Amino acid sequence: MSAEPLCLLAVHAHPDDESSKGAGTVAKYHHDGVRTVLVCCTGGEEGDILNPAMNRDEVKANIAAVRRDELDAAAGIIGYDEVVMLNYRDSGMADSEANAHPECFAAAPLSEAVERLARILRRTRPQVVLTYGDEQGGYPHPDHLRVHEITQPAIDQAADATWVSDAGEPWQVAKVYYSVWSKKRIELTHAKYLELGLESPYSQEWLDRPWQDDLINASIPIDGYSEVRFDALLAHATQIDPESPFWFGLPREVAASIHPYDDYIRASSRVPVSGLEDDLFAGLHADAPIS
């Protein structure tokens, strides 16, 4: 097994996705000395301004630059050592006018986007990659689906010794995980709102949406890191209303105590694994054979 330093790379679609998905995990591993890399595929140009305080003409006129500044601030709060942009434009929601923009992520040639990510993988050499699964029933954004479509092909291309390029030596990612929200987390949060006599933002429609709890096979304890998500989300001032009951309707210490885990579906592993993992780097800390 390689003696390379441990590295975790997360692939996200837009600025703010890195804060709502797996922020506590990344903060934990960064604190433990793992190098952490964020690949953000788009600039988030189509994101609605959801914070009334930021709904200003100068912000809207420079939304790409504003969202990049927000991304850098959030990444610093979480503990990403490096932020890499894949340099595509936000594709917007399905069937929107933005889908036709020639620079949008969803319309980019698949081979082009795969190669961009493969080059990053060869340079950064992560053992663990976090990405999105093919099941996005709860939020089927074209860019989220595209993240899934390019990640495994890029991993395969980065490992392919026959791919002759100037991208560096081949690199084999050892483990791939899909970031998911568990229904258990949502149900516990919903119950806490009701227990405290507060109106829950989770409607029955929310609770009835597709969930994948039966597929979760990695649950990472993030005690002490749960609140990182809230601070990182607030750094995305255009996207996150600090008065939002969805994110901030519960006292912070209460919200942080509810299901203090980040949940994942293990998509693949080249090292032996079994049961419910509590460490994404299980099997990688010490010498272990890779199949």
pTM: 0.94
For the chain, which residues make up each domain, given as ranges? Answer: 7-269
Q: What average pLDDT score do residues 262-273 get?
A: 96
78 has pLDDT over 90: yes
Q: What is the pLDDT of residues 96-109, one digit of tens each?
A: 777 878 889 999 99
pLDDT score of 142: 92
Backbone angles phi, psi at 179, to 5 degrees: -75, 130
List the 261-269 sheet strands across, edge first: 82-88, 35-42, 7-12, 128-131, 175-180, 261-269, 218-221
Contact 180, 133 (CB under 8 A): yes
Tally of residues, the chain = 291
Q: What average pLDDT score do residues 246-264 get?
A: 95
4: which DSSP letter?
P
pLDDT score of 25: 98
Secondary structure of residue 227 in the 3-state scheme: coil
pLDDT score of 137: 59
Average pLDDT over the chain reads 93
Q: What is the pLDDT of residues 200-225, one digit of tens each?
A: 999 898 888 889 999 999 999 999 99
1 has pLDDT over 60: no
CATH of domain 7-269: 3.40.50.10320
The Cα–Cα gap between 149 and 286 comes to 31
Q: Tell me whether residue 176 is exposed, middle or buried, using C-beta atoms within 10 angstroms of its C-beta: 0 to 12, 13 to 18, 19 or more.
A: buried
The Cα–Cα gap between 259 and 223 comes to 9
Virtual CA dihedral for 23, 28, 32, 33, nearest 10 degrees? 0
Residues 6+ apart with CB under 8 A from 146: 13, 41, 91, 105, 106, 108, 113
248 has pLDDT over 60: yes
Contact 122, 163 (CB under 8 A): no
Q: What is the pLDDT of residues 160-193, one digit of tens each?
A: 999 988 999 999 999 999 999 999 999 999 999 9
138 has pLDDT over 80: no
pLDDT class for 279, splitting at 50, 70, 90? very high
The Cα–Cα gap between 239 and 237 comes to 6
Least confident of 39-43, 131-135, 136-140: 136-140
Burial 222-260 (b: 16+ CB within 10 A, else e): beebbbbbbbbbbbbbbbbbeeeeebbbbeeeebbebbb
Q: What average pLDDT score do residues 71-97 get?
A: 92
288 has pLDDT over 60: no
